[in-house]
Chains A and B, each alone.
Chain A
Amino acid sequence: MAEATSTTHAVRHEAPTSFIRKWIFSTDHKIIGLQYYFLALFSVLVGMVLSIFIRFNLVWPGTELPLLETLFPVGAPGGVMTPEFYLSFLTMHGTIMVFFVLTTAPQGGFGNYFLPIQIGADDMAFPILNMLSFWVTFLALLVLVAAFFVTGGPPTAGWTSYPPLSALGEIAGPGLGMGQNLWILSIAIFCIAALLGALNFIATTIDMRAKGMSLMRMPLTVWSWFVTAILGLLAFGVLLSAGVLLLLDRVAGTSFFIPGGLVVSDQIINHQGGSPLLWQHLFWFFGHPEVYIAILPAMGVTSQILSTFARKPIFGYRAMVYAMLGIGILGFMVWGHHMFMSGMSPYSAILFSLITTAIAVPSAIKTFNWLGTIVGGNLRLTTAMLFSLGFVSLFVSGGVDGLFLNQPSTDIFLHDTYFVVAHFHLIMGVAAIFGIFAASYFWFPKMFGRHMNESLGKIHFLITFIGVYAIFMPMHFLGMEGSPRRYPELTGFDFLEPLISLHAVITVAAFITIAAQVLFVFNLFWSLFRGQKAEMNPWDCTTLEWTIPSPPPHDNFAGEEPTVYRGAYEYSVPGELQDFTMQTTPDRTEH
């Protein structure tokens, strides 16, 4: 340590004193991380409320909900949800959850807060850019929420916004006028924010690491944020381009995605030659990596937490890194598996299916290594640990059911049924959310200097864990019965009516699970003020964020660059006094 401090002078940055510079337009990555986190928390609450109405309407369509009428007198006249309003809620639920929760909390939130600290940097590479990314994201959210209140109502084309439905304007249905324009605008703005953020993350990881923090010593969380940022940098630009073209089709009369000879409601549409499939290709070229953008950080957090609370080094660190890189690279080559039934060439379906199967390999490596990490450990079952173990369980469940969908043959029946809904909610939604929960319970003491309540946390975990299985496992059966996605009600078809009871079970499970989230929100805010005080390193963890006070000072390491001597997960090293060896602990031979 002496050697490290002798070469660099402690240059301290003073925290800004004005309220606005400190909390609103802050360039401190920690504040920005919290801003992202609370933006995601707000978004997830909105998204959950939408899902309550969605689930309710499926089972009890036509019920009068006075609350709904108060909020949306046009969309829900008399408090009864119209089919188009159901589709609006569905679209907004998907968009908010995918973009403003799953992309925002794990990367913008935790990544922002902990990536610089875990590599021993005093901030991100470009702090002002970082502030800008957040505020642009915020603007995107405002634009999206504004779509709730425009004439014609919020968009109804789903979060995938397939043209021509999304390209034709109001004539194709309610919500496809101004609402759809705002949707595209919001996504385009979000893309810009995501690109700025991704750039910053990558540059920080490449150029801001402390002395000794070689790539293969980085915590797996850092690796996951790093790979996620690379995916984001390459994927969001494509969505941005696609969004621009779609908007031009709508407002400038071009025909990128609108084919000729369309007749909507007996009116001839004056476009020609465009390709709806082109949108699908561009969208899914972004959309599939997006899945990994949501889940990779959760994988990183899970690795970190499993290793910490098993008191064991991570099993196969290098394999974990290569698996993440492999998932990232393959993730760009499999978008076509969303399009088996789209009219794309059946030969390319075979190719996409094979490459998709290849993704099972790195995924299997990860699962195996997580199990390998806890074998022979001494498991401390903290709430964070429980959520990480839950993540592994969900990752397995949501992973294997993907094997039914990546084969074009079995996908014929299951495509666009609730089987798909079950699959992506398990693997992309809930698994990623479990990562966020695990990270929240794990890093809360560092971020706020207080612990979250563990008993409350464990109750929250148990209800949520059982709840999500009770919601999403039965959806597989709905899919096997052929229940299609995106139907506002199930009363129109003979084969759907017998399934209403199963839908009702899911709806009740969803209500209970959502209600249990109140425990988390309460715990979060209560612990902010009343939680038990946390020390510098309450979990006996080895990475750099645990070498500085909780909460960390404005300049993280008080102006002294730490020196790193070893890998991230040196637990239970034989011959050491403690069962954890910090990354900054010098080798004994050095003395």
Chain B
Amino acid sequence: MTTIAPPFNGGDLRHLRERRYYTGMKLALAAILMVFAAFTSALVVRSGLSDDWQATSLPGILWANTIILLISSFTLEKARRSYANTESFQRWWWGTTALGATFLAGQMMTWQQLIANGVYVDTNPSSSFFYVLTVTHGLHLLGGVGALLYVAWKIRRKNSKTSAATIMGVTALYWHFMDGLWIYLFGLLLFWS
């Protein structure tokens, strides 16, 4: 007969209990990835299929947005590392939140610019995909900003059953993923359309 299998982790029960949040977040990211994979394959098929595809010229503000988002990933890491120092943590964390909100505002300006130029969602398949991809990503990032606010509130209350490290870690995972996803989408829009 077989013997008892050892526990899964060195016995750090708290760590063991909280691992599920990381697992859950990774799974959520996998599902989100599939959503965008489906959009991507649709874009590839649709652009290769017909001769009505006209590249949408991307407003320059997108470059600024990209840089802002990249910086926000950096400041988020800064915040996590300085968790012990409340004041510095607060500064970096709120800074990240502000950068995230700025990115969203920047995206909205992009849309406004396009609309001002007469580029709507139904103008061309290329613009259709531009709006679908950026709006979907924007909604996800809005969720990310919400998460940053929630964490700030949660940590201040200090009575959470889950450790601050896990809450921040999971949020950071999501944030960096949205950052990376944006780089990918931006590249896709830049080079494929």
Contact = CB atoms under 8 A, between A and B. Distances in A.
Contacts of B50: 259-260, 272-275
Contacts of A204: 20
Contact of B121 (A236, A241, A252, A260): A252
Interface in A416-446: none
B31 A274 contact: no
Interface string B1-32: 11111011000000010011001100110111
A238 B33 CA distance: 10
Interface string A267-293: 000001111001001100100000000
A252 B5 CA distance: 57
A230 B37 CA distance: 16
Nearest to B48: A275
Contacts of A195: 31
A260 B52 contact: yes
B144 interface: no
Given A199-B31, A273-B52, A273-B53, A211 B20 contact: no
Nearest to B2: A566
Given A254-B121, A256-B46, A273-B125, A203 B27 contact: yes
B34 interface: yes
A260 B45 CA distance: 16
B122 A253 contact: yes
Contacts of A477: none
A544 B187 CA distance: 51
B132 interface: yes
A200 interface: yes
Q: How large is the interface on B (under 10, 10 to 19, 20 to 34, 35 or more residues)?
A: 35 or more
A565 interface: yes
Q: A interface, how many residues as a size bin?
A: 35 or more
Contacts of B41: 281-282
A282 B42 CA distance: 8
Interface string B46-63: 100111110000000000
B42 A278 contact: yes
Contacts of A237: 31-35, 37-38
Contacts of A202: 23, 27
Interface in A145-169: none
B53 A282 contact: no
A255 interface: yes
Nearest to B19: A207
Contacts of B128: 248, 254-256
B147 to A, nearest CB: 14
A125 interface: yes
B35 A272 contact: no
A222 B171 CA distance: 29
Given A256-B125, A272-B50, A275-B45, A240 B20 contact: no
A92 to B, nearest CB: 26
A63 interface: no
A587 interface: yes
B39 interface: yes
A130 B47 CA distance: 39
Contacts of A273: 46, 49-53, 125
Contacts of A260: 50, 52
B7 A211 contact: yes
B27 to A, nearest CB: 4
Contacts of B24: 125-126, 129, 199-200, 203
A188 to B, nearest CB: 11
A198 interface: yes
Nearest to A286: B38
Contact of B28 (A199, A234, A281, A564): A199
Contacts of A565: 1-2, 4
B31 A126 contact: no
Given A273-B53, A274-B46, A587 B23 contact: no
A523 interface: no
A564 B3 CA distance: 10
Interface string B148-176: 00000000000000000000000000000
A75 to B, nearest CB: 32
B20 A126 contact: yes
B30 A203 contact: no
A567 B16 CA distance: 23
Contacts of B8: 209
Nearest to B45: A278
13 contacts: A125-B24, A203-B24, A206-B23, A207-B16, A233-B30, A233-B31, A240-B35, A241-B38, A242-B42, A248-B128, A254-B128, A259-B50, A566-B1
Interface of B: 1-5, 7-8, 16, 19-20, 23-24, 27-28, 30-39, 41-42, 45-46, 49-53, 121-122, 125, 128, 132, 136
Interface of A: 125-126, 129, 195, 198-200, 202-204, 206-209, 211-214, 217, 233-238, 240-242, 244-245, 248, 252-256, 259-260, 272-275, 278, 281-282, 285, 563-567, 587-590
